A = this chain, B = another copy of it.
Amino acid sequence: MEKNFVIGGAKIFTASGAVETANIFVSGDKISKITHGSVDGEKIIDGRNKFATPGLVNAHTHASMTLLRSFSDDKNLLDWLQKDIWPIEDKMTREDLYWGAAVAAVEMIRGGTTAFADMYGPWMDEVAKVVDESGLRGSLSQGLISFVNGEKKLASNIELYKNFHGAADGRITIMFGPHAIYTCPPEYLKKVAAAAEKLGAEIHMHMNETQTEIDDCLKNFGKRPFEVVNETGLFELGTLAAHCVYLSDEEIEIIKAKKIRVAHNPGSNMKLASGICPAAKLLSAGVTVALGTDGAASNNNLDMLEEMRLAALLAKVSTLDPKAIPAAQAIQMAAENGAKALGLKNVGRLEVGCKADIVLWDMSSVEWQPNFNPASLLVYSAQSSAADTVIVDGKILMEGRELKTLDEEKILAEFKSCVARLTKK
């Protein structure tokens, strides 16, 4: 696989959010040089009529849930979860997790995603295997629910950390995944915090997703979720908080003080009718707001271009401010903020010294015409199938829409067998 090459003559999305024509030199796993003007020589990827952005980062998903895409939609949350999703999840095997995550990897690469934060389980080692083989980056966590094998799952998250943190040339990192305040009471969260602290691990947790969650928390603990969790010490470790739909001003202060990174999931929050995360307000307050798809059962895809669009559109209509989350900021949320959300250093920017995680978007199709502003076009008009070439850690995972690391045909065939077995009456 080519590891030293130059992308010549592309429009590039710079670290400051501007667009300029430039050449990106890749040496090993890094961007070694960015120049303007012409380039010659060998190993040139033609960047003309391509828009180069940092790889997109899916800051909150449950990759293997691709298995349940389109299985249950347009239902009340509890009917959806308890009657349709959980009974099938109960039947899942180690193989299902692998093939579900493999399909997610195919879909993510095809849509310009280069890294993802995953919370699921058990058998997250299968997802780690997919990360290793696909060439993607993954920040994986075992979903922890205290009342279903809580101790065993915590042990499994510890094991996962020991076996995989920093694996695959550092492309795999491991976090701890306490599911949510309504599935993990404070005493359990303290245990999670102690275990994670011992290893130096960070936290990935659902926070404040629905009004019901807030109401129940107030009833049970007399305080709101961020306040309850804050007292357990969990937030001292570095936290990626998914959803954050309903937030009091006091909770925003906790988010700021503890430097909590927020994963905003507009598609899932809209589809499940959870509510609207105050993303623009959080960004104004200096919070790192990244974007996630959530699982494919509640989205129903892993398309980060769509999440950028939804984040920008939803911010505008919910604040009645057409300037809220402009296109360039939406890209930065999906790329640079996503990398920060996952705790990745020197990822998410097209800058010398940064990791070479790059997507080339093909700007030739009709919805890119005319082309006054590639950033606007990517966020407001393009389809993610415009992702032409995807590079992670200097390695080409897709070129000209052809996958280089994964056997899509075999993966889809195995995946379909898994789905057939899982849904057999």
Stretch at the interface among A150-158, A198-206, A374-382: A374-382
Binary B-proximity of A402-425 (CB < 8 A = 1, otherwise 0): 000000100010011001000100
- Cβ–Cβ < 8 Å partners of A367 in chain B: 107, 301-303
- Cβ–Cβ < 8 Å partners of A299 in chain B: 380-381
In the complex with contacts A70-B371, A324-B273, A372-B70, A408-B76 CB distance below 8 A? no
- Cβ–Cβ < 8 Å partners of A415 in chain B: 369-370
A372 to B74, CA, bound (A): 14
Q: Which residue of B lies closest to A276 (CB)?
A: B317
A69 to B249, CA, bound (A): 39
In the complex with contacts A273-B317, A273-B324, A380-B300, A373-B77 CB distance below 8 A? no
- Contact partner of A316 (CB less than 8 A), chosen from B273, B314, B316, is B273
In the complex with contacts A70-B377, A366-B107, A370-B67, A76-B383 CB distance below 8 A? no
Q: Which residue of B lies closest to A72 (CB)?
A: B372
**Central interface residue in A66, A74, A106, A369, by most chain B CB within 10 Å:** A74
- Cβ–Cβ < 8 Å partners of A66 in chain B: 369-370
Q: Does A132 sit within 8 A of B, measured CB to CB? A: no
Q: Does A110 sit within 8 A of B, measured CB to CB? A: yes
- Contact between A314 and B376, CB atoms less than 8 A apart: no
- Cβ–Cβ < 8 Å partners of A67 in chain B: 370
Q: Which residue of B lies closest to A418 (CB)?
A: B370
A305 → B minimal CB distance (Å)? 9
Q: Does A93 sit within 8 A of B, measured CB to CB? A: no
- Cβ–Cβ < 8 Å partners of A272 in chain B: 316, 322
Q: Which 9 A-B residue pairings sit nearest by Cβ, starting from the closest?
A: A74-B326, A270-B313, A300-B380, A273-B322, A270-B317, A300-B381, A273-B316, A301-B381, A370-B419
Could you write out 17 A-B pairs with CB less than 8 Å apart? A67-B370, A69-B369, A69-B370, A69-B372, A70-B373, A103-B366, A267-B313, A269-B317, A270-B317, A272-B322, A275-B317, A301-B381, A303-B367, A303-B381, A310-B313, A366-B412, A383-B383
